[in-house]
Structure 1
Amino acid sequence: MDWDQATHGLPAALGIGLLIGAVRERQHGNAASAQAGVRTHALLALMGAVALALGQAAFLVALLAAALLAWSSYRVTARDDPGLTGEVALLVTVLLGGLALEEQELAAALGVVVAILLWAKAPLARLSREVISDQEMRDALLLAACALVVLPLLPETAIDPWGVLVPARLWRIVVLVMGVGMLGHIALRAVGARRGLPVAGFFSGFASSTAAVAGFGRGSRVSAALVGPSASAALLANLASLLLFAAVIGTTSPALLRASAWPLLAASLLLLAFSLLGLRQVKEETLPPTSAANAFRLGHALMIALVIAVVLLVSEGLRQLFGQAGALAGATIAALGELHAAAASIASLAASGGLELATARWGVVTLLASASLAKSILAFASGGPRYGAAVSAGLAAMVVGAAATTWLVPG
């Protein structure tokens, strides 16, 4: 071990031990039984660093000694404190002390993470036992399985003769829809329904902006005072859907997302501006009845993937028969019912070279116009003339802004 390594590694190890020990001291300083505190953890961290400097054999002996110390401590405190957190923290401190000798930055970062985990005992226990429901835990495990187990097993090559159906790419869309649904659900639960229509509208848009337009339209019929706020909530739902729309395009074709960045930004700003007009009429935080039992619906995500696959095949068939105009026509029709599936088809064709980038940019605008037409009709049907007019105005401004920016700003 050279002098430079020692002057950086040993102070880092000492700091890690002092930090972890301080947290343990504050948590168990008044405990009846003895607990390892500041001095113990600082010495263990230094022991780990010095032992590693002496060689791997010495470090293994030090780690074994710390394990024996932890075992002895557990035998003394098991009756009053049957948990193993303190004993595991002793071993982690030794390991981080050794790591600090080689990788000071990584060891320091991990030391902070360990200290936070030790300090957050009560909040984490409350989160896992009281805040998170069984359904939300199942949803989180399902999302993790889809992202970490299923996705790596899927092939990255097309399975159809035309080269448009890539299983891994389709499944990424499923994971993306589920993930944003989970994030929206968590945020809505954290903020609470009392924050009002804006929060509920924005986060419900990640699941289904079409359903949000219909739901808030029905809610606006309860009171005339809710028409403006309900329309704003519906537009915020479409803003969230537009963000997901951009994410789907970026996942499938990063080049198309870069080319369409300014039109999508203009559309988002105009949607936000029109939604703020209705929020000025909010006098009390009243929400229509909503259900938040599930963070996301797996069936909905799988249906989107299925529709995407069908749209990709249909668009490719139309492209081969009628060229680029046929592919755009197929995606536009699909956007009347499912915007994100149509976005995936346009982006996939752009990524594979089936559509020129300039044509695909106008295809993005066309998809927004098609989806806005369907949602405007739904707004009039569900919420009446005032609600329908407010929602339609915001959606029309979004389309006009995207079209004007596409025309004025080259891709």
Structure 2
Amino acid sequence: MNEVALQLVDAPLEETVVRIALAGALGMFLGLEREWSQKSAGIRTFSLISLLAAVFTILVLETDIGEGLLLLGGLLVIVQGVLLAVKGLIDDQETGLSLTTSVSMLVAYGVGALVAAEFIIEGVTVAVLSSLLLVLKRELHEFAWGLSREEMRSTTEFAILAFVVYPLLPAEYPLDLGATTVDLEPQVIWLMVVAVAGIGIVNYAIVSTYGGRGIAITGFFGGLASSTAVVGTMLDHVRQRPDAASYAVAAILLANAAMAARNLAIAVGFTIGGGRGLLVEAVIPLGAVILVAFAIAAVTADWSESGPMELESPFSMKNALAFGAVFLVVLVFGSLSEQWLGTLGFYATAVASGFVSSAGATTSAVVLYRGGQLAPAEATIGILLATVSSIVVKAMLAATSTNRGFRKQVAAYSVLLLVGGAVASVLVVV
């Protein structure tokens, strides 16, 4: 008996018996919440449904008699679900609860089929997400019922931006400008629009709870993901609340600090144990940018304010699209600059890459340094150019704001960041 158990544990996922066992286990997992909620179908029913789907799917893959059985099994699950829903109506149960159990049974059938067809990760993902939806029933209902009309509209617009428009765009598109051609990446550009909207939604939730201090959280952690997208969110924030411009300026500074910290982590972390020594030349200039950004952010806004701040909506579709248009112009300009300054090679590429993601340029510099193609000073210059490019492009995007004070503060403090990094670089050289 022990030998059989050991053989089952050691068997690869491609083994039919293992896939059948996994399908049954996932069915039990899905039925656990239904059993706990004392529904008409529980652990045993869900496990048997998944096992049935697994058996029929294996017959489809390995014999010629399984296709009809697989279809028949699916129809039987649907019929059973309908009968349970009708029984729930007769017993005066909530319609939604009966329908949820019926649909969950069909999901269990699909999970069994996925696992048996060797789509292991997909099957497990569906099972986990489905179980999570069942467990978080109350929280999801409270969230949906608590949304205002404007919040619901923003959520729908974000879903369209992220899940409808983005997949339809081409990955690459050559833009013919007559004498030259610029290779654009529409999906990358649109991803920036989605990032602006996504950070805006997170910012809305955090600021509504923590007030001015919440903007700092948005700025820093948003900067780790996309410091440029933070600017788009703050442009919308300033438009809705002009009196909170100082918080938006601080958020952009903290986004720059997060961007520099991320680049520093890449420059140092990926050169540990590389055989060429740590890229310590980047520590002082990037560290100076981080410290100056935090210092200015600490004194530019009253972080003692913690009460909620009213915002009109999570994000503005018009603002997100306008930001995407400006970002497109900057990207075209950066690509043209790279072509015109081709003799500068790596440095021109670092500057152009910084418009989109300084992390990408930093990673490229580290890889080339580890491979021996770049000296420490050259790799450091490339990283700093990408960092400078990221700071400059944020100031350029902030300049599109109609709030004059906001524009001037972002420009002035961006210059201070650049000066602080430049002075630190000079000290390193001397």
**TM-score interval for Structure 1 and Structure 2 normalised by the shorter chain:** 0.5 to 0.7
The TM-score normalised by the length of structure 1 is: 0.64
Is the contact between residue 18 and residue 39 of structure 1 (CA under 8 Å) also seen in structure 2? yes
2:79 matches 1:68: yes
Letter in 1 for 2:84: S
Is the contact between residue 41 and residue 90 of structure 1 (CA under 8 Å) also seen in structure 2? yes
Aligned length: 357
Is the contact between residue 353 and residue 386 of structure 2 (CA under 8 Å) also seen in structure 1? no
Residue matched to 2:295? 274
Gaps of 5+ in 2: 1-6, 61-65, 220-228, 263-278, 365-377
Is the contact between residue 236 and residue 315 of structure 2 (CA under 8 Å) also seen in structure 1? no
Residue matched to 1:294? 315
Aligned equivalents of 1:196 and 1:45: distance in 2?
48
Residue matched to 1:382? 405
How far the C-alpha of 1:365 sits from its partner, in A, is 5.9
Residue matched to 1:343? 355
How far the C-alpha of 1:89 sits from its partner, in A, is 1.7
2:29 matches 1:13: no
Q: 1:27-42 counterparts in 2 under 5 A?
A: 27-29=37-39, 35-42=40-47
Of 308, 324, 333, the match for 2:330: 308
Aligned equivalents of 2:286 and 2:85: distance in 1?
58
Aligned equivalents of 1:107 and 1:52: distance in 2?
13
Is the contact between residue 47 and residue 62 of structure 1 (CA under 8 Å) also seen in structure 2? yes
Q: Secondary structure at the match of 2:35?
A: helix
Letter in 2 for 1:90: M
How far the C-alpha of 1:21 sits from its partner, in A, is 1.3
The TM-score normalised by the length of structure 2 is: 0.62
Residue matched to 1:122? 138
Letter in 2 for 1:238: L
Gaps of 5+ in 1: 30-34, 221-229, 248-258, 333-339
Aligned CA distance change for structure 1 residues 238 and 15 (closer, same or farther; 3 Å): same
Aligned CA distance change for structure 1 residues 291 and 64 (closer, same or farther; 3 Å): closer
Is the contact between residue 21 and residue 38 of structure 1 (CA under 8 Å) also seen in structure 2? yes
Q: Which has the higher contact order (CA 8 A, sep 6+)?
A: 1
How far the C-alpha of 1:313 sits from its partner, in A, is 7.8
How far the C-alpha of 1:15 sits from its partner, in A, is 1.8
Please list the CA deviations of residues 18-67 of structure 1 after superposition, one character each: whole Å capped at 9, or x if unmatched.
Answer: 221121123354xxxxx212221122222233344455244444333323
Aligned equivalents of 2:84 and 2:233: distance in 1?
56
How far the C-alpha of 1:304 sits from its partner, in A, is 0.8
Is the contact between residue 203 and residue 218 of structure 2 (CA under 8 Å) also seen in structure 1? yes
Residue matched to 1:157? 174
Please list the CA deviations of residues 233-285 of structure 1 after superposition, one character each: whole Å capped at 9, or x if unmatched.
Answer: 523323326768999xxxxxxxxxxx998789536622553156439964342
Q: 1:76-155 counterparts in 2 under 5 A?
A: 76-78=87-89, 80-83=93-96, 84-103=99-118, 104-131=120-147, 132-149=151-168, 151-152=169-170, 155=172
Aligned equivalents of 1:64 and 1:276: distance in 2?
62
Aligned equivalents of 2:394 and 2:197: distance in 1?
25
Letter in 2 for 1:146: V
Quick one: percent identity of the two aligned structures?
Answer: 17
How far the C-alpha of 1:287 sits from its partner, in A, is 6.8
Aligned CA distance change for structure 1 residues 285 and 314 (closer, same or farther; 3 Å): same
Q: 1:189-204 counterparts in 2 under 5 A?
A: 189-201=204-216, 203=218
- When structure 1 is superposed on structure 2, of 89-98 and 276-285 the one drifting more is 276-285
Q: Which runs of 4+ in 1 moved over 6 A?
A: 212-218, 242-247, 259-264, 345-349, 356-360, 371-376
2:423 matches 1:400: no
Is the contact between residue 23 and residue 119 of structure 1 (CA under 8 Å) also seen in structure 2? yes
Letter in 2 for 1:145: V
Letter in 1 for 2:46: H
Letter in 2 for 1:401: G
Aligned CA distance change for structure 1 residues 38 and 278 (closer, same or farther; 3 Å): same
How far the C-alpha of 1:344 sits from its partner, in A, is 5.4
Is the contact between residue 285 and residue 424 of structure 2 (CA under 8 Å) also seen in structure 1? no
How far the C-alpha of 1:137 sits from its partner, in A, is 1.5
Let me know the Cα RMSD of the aligned residues: 5.2
Of 22, 33, 36, the match for 1:26: 36
Q: Secondary structure at the match of 1:97?
A: helix
Is the contact between residue 193 and residue 323 of structure 2 (CA under 8 Å) also seen in structure 1? yes
Q: Secondary structure at the match of 1:157?
A: strand
Residue matched to 2:48? 43
